[in-house]
Amino acid sequence: MSLVTPGEPIAVEEEALPAGGAYISRDGYVRSMVTGLLQFDKYRKQVLVKPLVRRELTLKPNSVIEGVVTNASEDVAMVKIYASENNMRFNAIGILHVSQVMDGYVSAMYDYIKPGDVVKAKVLNSTPPYLLSVKEPLMGVIAAQCSHCGSTLHLHPSGYLVCRNCGRQEKRKIAVGYLYVLR
């Protein structure tokens, strides 16, 4: 077996026909469709390219993710990551520790990050579960809902979040670029 890449000629039409992972191009060559291992069945005159299993995508330190907070205790928030940079779809679990919320003392996570919040965060490590940080100004909550009525919270010019439905004011670690701004 040998490794072949997409488009690589692996046989001529007269020698063998593609049985999978290969095609016949107009010039009469059997070419590979994928990166994989070539299996040449001379007896049946067939070629098969078995695709290499794609390596699982992983995040790199300092990459930026978006996710939804699934729960928040005093020390830790769990984040369901749904996207990485460049809007690439990505599913993984992230963990935000209270020490990574902001510089200075944070008494309790849930004063700054609450379940249901959409957060933008920086990744600190390279293997799941991913450790996250929202310390930087661009990181933090980008969308949040009112704890009282569930309506979207809007950013007030003085820096707190306000519910347009019930008037409740709330605090978060708000990211520059919070999506809903009161005007």
CA 151 to each of CA 67, 72, 138, 165: distance values in angstroms, whole numbers, following the listed order:
19, 20, 24, 7
**Would you say 148 or 156 has its CB closer to Zn ion?**
148
User: Least distance from C-beta 163 to Zn ion, angstroms?
Assistant: 3
Minimum gap (Å) between residue 156 Cβ and Zn ion: 14
Tally of CB atoms within 10 A around 159: 8
| 3-class state of residue 83 by DSSP | strand
Among the residue ranges 21-29, 53-61, 110-118, 138-146, the one whose residues contact Zn ion (CB under 5 A)? 138-146
Stretch that binds Zn ion, among 16-24, 48-56, 157-165, 169-177 (CB under 5 A): 157-165
Distance of CA 129 to the CA centre of its chain: 12
Query: Measuring CA to CA, which residue among 159, 164, 150, 165 is closest to residue 178?
Result: 159
Rounded to whole angstroms, the Cα distance separating 154 from 141 reads 12
Q: How far is the CB of 151 from Zn ion (least distance, A)?
A: 5
- Report which secondary-structure segment, H or E, holds 67: strand 64-72
Q: Is 3 in the site for Zn ion (CB under 5 A)?
A: no
Binding-site member from 11, 47, 146, 155 for Zn ion (CB under 5 A): 146
- Least distance to Zn ion, CB of residue 102, Å: 25
5 is a site residue for Zn ion (CB under 5 A):
no
169 binding Zn ion? (CB under 5 A): no
